[in-house]
């Protein structure tokens, strides 16, 4: 009941924000949005440049075109189609393949931080036992290790295509994967973490703007769980409000309820 009342007061809290403060929030969010997609465009440029020279402004347009097409496809797979429109026709198949590396790096960053956030969330908010927390952490560590091994051993995938009589026709296109060495992959992964931190900051600013009271650590862990769920749950971007918003609402309301209960207990102990 309390949480329902809190949700109903969100529009009022937004209206109570001063005009100057609201403009500041909007400007900051706009700058972070440009930085977010700028990082993604630079990452895309670093991927495609091994195939054909491409300017940053062109990669920025490619990313935005992909975002538009991705709105109408499951899990935004249309983003690949939008981006390759800006690559010469003879390189488009290779461009699609190297796009998978960029997508893999971003999903890897989301999964790593999301799992850490999930462990914190389960231990603090859901208050699961230490033994269960350890078990979840162990399984998660194994999963992350396997994903990192797969990410840093793309040459193995190339060899599988080369040796398979069914996949041998695709080998000339997949051979480009061998051009990305550990140094390149590490750079892409760091860019993915950087981009993740940018849109996490955007999320926290939106929460602050709408009057949500949540500390940084709890906020980052909850956001990590939400992004993890969004990565796992397949959906069309245009109907995400029906599939993903309830997940975010549930996690944040559970988190806020825990913090309110914790504050109340502290007040009882201190005698206030």
Sequence-separated contacts (24+) of 158-163 with Cβ below 8 Å? none
Tens-digit pLDDT string for the chain (272 aa): 444 455 555 555 555 666 777 788 889 999 999 999 999 999 999 999 999 999 999 999 999 888 888 777 766 677 778 888 899 888 888 888 888 899 899 999 999 999 998 888 887 766 777 788 888 889 989 999 999 998 998 878 777 777 777 667 777 777 888 889 999 999 999 999 999 999 899 988 887 877 767 777 777 888 888 888 877 765 544 445 444 555 555 555 555 545 544 454 454 445 54
CA dihedral 122, 127, 130, 132 (to 10 degrees): -50
Number of domains making up the chain: 1
Distance CA 135, CA 89 (A): 49
Residue carrying structure tokens 């690949």: 80
**Which residues form the domain of 202?**
2-270
């Amino acid at each position: 009941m309390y949480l329902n009342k809190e949700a109903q007061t969100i529009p009022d809290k937004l209206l109570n924000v001063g005009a100057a403060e609201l403009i500041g929030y909007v400007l900051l969010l706009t700058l972070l949005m440009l930085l977010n997609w700028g990082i993604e465009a630079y990452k895309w440029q670093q991927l495609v440049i091994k195939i054909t020279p491409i300017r940053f402004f062109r990669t920025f347009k490619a990313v935005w075109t992909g975002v538009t097409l991705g709105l109408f496809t499951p899990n935004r797979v249309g983003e690949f189609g939008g981006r390759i429109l800006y690559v010469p026709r003879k390189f488009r198949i290779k461009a699609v393949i190297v796009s998978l590396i960029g997508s893999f790096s971003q999903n890897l960053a989301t999964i790593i931080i999301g799992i850490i956030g999930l462990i914190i969330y389960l231990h603090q908010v859901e208050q699961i036992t230490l033994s269960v927390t350890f078990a979840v952490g162990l399984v998660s560590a194994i999963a992350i290790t396997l994903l990192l091994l797969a990410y840093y051993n793309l040459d193995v995938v190339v060899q599988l295509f080369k040796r398979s009589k069914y996949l041998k026709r695709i080998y000339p296109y997949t051979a480009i994967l061998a051009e990305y060495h550990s140094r390149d992959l590490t750079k892409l992964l760091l860019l993915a973490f950087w981009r993740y931190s940018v849109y996490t900051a955007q999320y926290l600013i939106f929460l602050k703007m709408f009057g949500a009271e949540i500390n940084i650590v709890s906020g980052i862990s909850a956001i990590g769980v939400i992004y993890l769920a969004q990565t796992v749950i397949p959906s069309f971007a245009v109907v995400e409000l029906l599939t993903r918003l309830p997940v975010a609402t549930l996690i944040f309301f559970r988190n806020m309820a825990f913090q309110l209960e914790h504050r109340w207990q502290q007040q009882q102990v201190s005698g206030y």
